[in-house]
Amino acid sequence: MPIVKDERLQIRVEPAAKRRLEEAAEAAHLSVSAFVLQAAEQRADELLLERQLIRLSPAAAEAFEDALSRPPMFNEQLGRALLRPPEFRWLGEGAESSTG
């Protein structure tokens, strides 16, 4: 069953950019639309993969692994701070009572 394509993308380009895309599409034996879509999808995949993949040098990877393997250290000052009630009000809180 064919995939229904009913979404549209429209872009405006300079004449020189359009000629370049047309030339590249022809070299790839694709329509300009197919060429642009293929290139855009490839770049989108690369960008999204970069956000999921963390690259570390061997030394950084070792330091990261060491940090993960150590038991967590309890920070008493942070623990006390988390137990205190907040000393601020959220924006808009209490505004209703002042307006009547």
List, as one string, the DSSP characters of 23-54: HHHHHTTS-HHHHHHHHHHHHHHHHHHHHH--
For residue 40, the one-letter residue type is A
Residue 90 covered by a domain? no
Residue 23 confidence class, pLDDT cut points 50, 70, 90:
very high
Tell whether 99 is covered by a domain: no
Question: What digits encode the pLDDT tens for the residues 25-76?
Answer: 999 999 999 999 999 999 999 999 888 888 899 999 999 999 999 988 889 9
pTM: 0.52
Do 28 and 35 meet the contact criterion of CB atoms below 8 Å apart?
Answer: yes
| Separation CA 32–CA 38 (nearest Å) | 10
Residue 35 inside a domain? The answer is yes
What pLDDT was estimated at residue 94? 57
In a domain, 7, yes or no: no
Backbone angles phi, psi at 84, to 5 degrees: -70, 145
Q: Which of 29, 7, 37, 32 is nearest to 17 (CA)?
A: 32
Domain count, the chain: 1
Q: Greater confidence, 7 or 98? A: 7
Residue 39 lies in domain = 15-85
